[in-house]
Structure 1
Amino acid sequence: MDEQPDILLTNDDGIDAPGIRALYDALTEVGSVTVVAPDRNQSAVGRSLSYGRTSDETDDPDGFTLDLEESSFTSPVPHTDHELGYAVNGTPCDCAIVGVNALESDPDLVVSGCNAGANLGTYVFSRSGTVSAAMEAAFLGTPSIAVSMDTLGMESDLEPADFERAGETAATLARDTHETGLFDRIDYLNVNVPRPDLDTGEFELTRPTEVYEMDATFEEGGFQLTNRLWQQMANRDIPDPEDTDRHALLAGAVSVSPMRVPYEVVKTDAVRTILERVL
Structure 2
Amino acid sequence: MDADAEPHVLLTNDDGIDAPGIRALADALAAVARVTVVAPDRNRSAVGRSLSYGRTSSSDDESLSLDLADSAFTSRVPHSDHELGYAIDGTPCDCAIVGVNAIEPEPDLVVSGCNSGANLGAYVFSRSGTVSAAMEAAFLETPAIAVSMDTLGYDDLEPSDFSLAGDVAATLVENVPGTGLFDRVDYLNVNVPGPDTDPDGIALTRPTEVYEMDAARVDGQFQLTNRLWQQMANRDIPDPDDTDRHALLEDEISISPVTVPYDVVDTEPVRSLLERFFADAF
* TM-score normalised by the chain length of structure 1: 0.90
How far, CA to CA, are the matches of 1:221 and 1:89 in structure 2? 38
How far, CA to CA, are the matches of 2:67 and 2:179 in structure 1? 48
Deviation of the 1:263 alpha carbon: 8.0
Contact 1:125/1:263 (<8 A) preserved: no
Amino acid corresponding to residue 77 of structure 1 in structure 2: V
Identity among equivalent pairs (%): 74
Secondary structure of the structure 1 residue equivalent to 2:166 = helix
- The answer to whether structure 1 residue 70 and structure 2 residue 82 are counterparts is no
Query: Which aligned pairs between 1:112-131 and structure 2 lie closer than 5 A?
Result: 112-131=112-131
Amino acid corresponding to residue 189 of structure 1 in structure 2: L
Q: 2:12 aligns with which of 3, 10, 13?
A: 10
RMSD (Å) for aligned C-alpha atoms? 1.5
How far, CA to CA, are the matches of 1:206 and 1:25 in structure 2? 27
Unaligned runs of 5+ in 1: 265-279
Amino acid corresponding to residue 195 of structure 1 in structure 2: G
Cα deviation digits, residues 51-71 of structure 1 (max 9, x gap): 00011548775xx53221111
Amino acid corresponding to residue 255 of structure 1 in structure 2: S
For residue 108 of structure 2, what is the aligned residue in structure 1?
108
Amino acid corresponding to residue 191 of structure 1 in structure 2: V
Query: Which aligned pairs between 1:178-217 and structure 2 lie closer than 5 A?
Result: 178-217=177-216
Contact 2:58/2:76 (<8 A) preserved: no
Q: 1:170 to 1:38 in 2, by over 3 A?
A: same
Contact 1:59/1:66 (<8 A) preserved: no
Deviation of the 1:86 alpha carbon: 0.1
How far, CA to CA, are the matches of 1:25 and 1:97 in structure 2? 23
- The answer to whether structure 1 residue 229 and structure 2 residue 228 are counterparts is yes
For residue 92 of structure 2, what is the aligned residue in structure 1?
92
Cα deviation digits, residues 155-210 of structure 1 (max 9, x gap): x4100011000000000001100131211111100000011223324110000000
For residue 48 of structure 2, what is the aligned residue in structure 1?
46
Q: 1:52 to 1:127 in 2, by over 3 A?
A: same
Contact 2:200/2:250 (<8 A) preserved: no
Total equivalences in the alignment: 261
For residue 142 of structure 2, what is the aligned residue in structure 1?
142
Deviation of the 1:114 alpha carbon: 0.2
* TM-score normalised by the chain length of structure 2: 0.89
Secondary structure of the structure 1 residue equivalent to 2:47 = coil
Q: 1:71 to 1:143 in 2, by over 3 A?
A: same
Unaligned runs of 5+ in 2: 264-282
How far, CA to CA, are the matches of 1:237 and 1:179 in structure 2? 40
Secondary structure of the structure 2 residue equivalent to 1:198 = coil
Secondary structure of the structure 2 residue equivalent to 1:132 = helix
